[in-house]
Structure 1
């Protein structure tokens, strides 16, 4: 992870980092590193700041708030939060075992 030039945005579970080290990540908004339980946002993505702010808010939501929030981004064609939810569900399964 050191080669990725990560910048910590939020401690906790999951941690959130910004990455500017790998040019291939420019096309991708985020990736998940299970060994570190870290969501890594690409600073090179054109909407990085926007998604970073939304993600930090979204991670504070409880399940009901997430369910109420999801129709809005979906109506705009945003799949970011659906992908984040897949990561969060995967984490829950792993942590249960």
Structure 2
């Protein structure tokens, strides 16, 4: 299980995430939805190692982890499908 607990992230005076918590069970698929600027991408980028949270904790299977970059996330079994992605750039649907 991946758990983000009380995650807060700011960019200067802008609060992107304020005390966000989410639990994701292994083998499940989730979608995070909300208005533009609500902080969805920021919290996912924290889970995937693109950003570091200002405060809060990330655990995997109940153990605290330090995800510093996407390589760390992948090693922990964390992946992310981006909104604009192409698995095979020469094919379309």
TM-score exceeds 0.5: no
Structure with the larger strand share: 2
Per chain length, whose mean CA-contact separation is higher, i.e. which structure has more relative contact order (CA < 8 Å, sep 6+)?
Answer: 2
**Under a length normalisation based on structure 1, what TM-score does the superposition of the two structures give?**
0.30
Higher-helix-fraction structure: 1
Larger of the two Rg values belongs to structure:
2
